Amino acid sequence: MTSQDTKAPLDSVVARATVEAQEVELRLAAVGVVKAEEVELEKGVAGLVLAGKQAKIEQGGARTIVSGGDTEVTQGGAGLILSAGSTAISRGGAGTVASLGSITVEQGGGVLLLAKAATVGRDGFVALALTPRLTVEDGGRVLLAGRQALAVLLVGLVAFLAGRVIPRRARRTTRA
């Protein structure tokens, strides 16, 4: 099912494969793909959110959010957030967050942050932060930042590549 309008508010329990409009407001909805200039997802879930300008998730979740502007997640979560603007996570979480602007995490968490600047606020937790400007406020925690995080990623990449290349060479040697 596809919905295409100038504005597509979905206010009841709805399941759709794709919703496409200029502005999309989803409440209590489950959607595979949401594509709009401005997306607001409240108490719903989406597989992929493609927002031309901004994306806002409140008490909901998305597997992947790609936003051409700011992204805000409140009491919700996302697996991957790619944002051309700033990203704010409050009382929620995300796996990987890459932002051309700044990232703010408060009372929530993230696995990997990539940004020009990041702030981890009260009760925030981040595993890896790759940013030249990191601010950790009272009560915030960052496991690895800067060069430490980069070193861990490089070691992980080398281990992954070694795990892929060495078994192939071993198979070739035993065949000969």
Complete DSSP assignment for 119-138: EE-TT-EEEEEE-SEEEE-T
pLDDT at 117: 95
Query: What angle (nearest 5°) sits at the alpha carbon of residue 150, between those of residues 147 and 156?
Result: 140
pTM of the entire predicted model: 0.78
For the chain, how are helix, strand and coil distributed in percent, rounded to 5?
15, 60, 20
pLDDT at 2: 43
Q: How does pLDDT run across 30-44, given as a tens digit for each residue?
A: 888 999 999 999 998
Cα–Cα distance, 121 to 4 (Å, whole number): 39
C-alpha distance from residue 92 to each of 38, 88, 110, 114 (Å):
20, 10, 9, 17
Lowest-confidence segment of 85-94, 153-162, 163-172 by average pLDDT? 163-172
Cα–Cα distance, 25 to 10 (Å, whole number): 6
Q: Are 134 and 150 in contact (CB under 8 A)?
A: no
Q: How does pLDDT run across 120-155, given as a tens digit for each residue?
A: 999 999 999 989 999 999 999 998 887 787 788 888
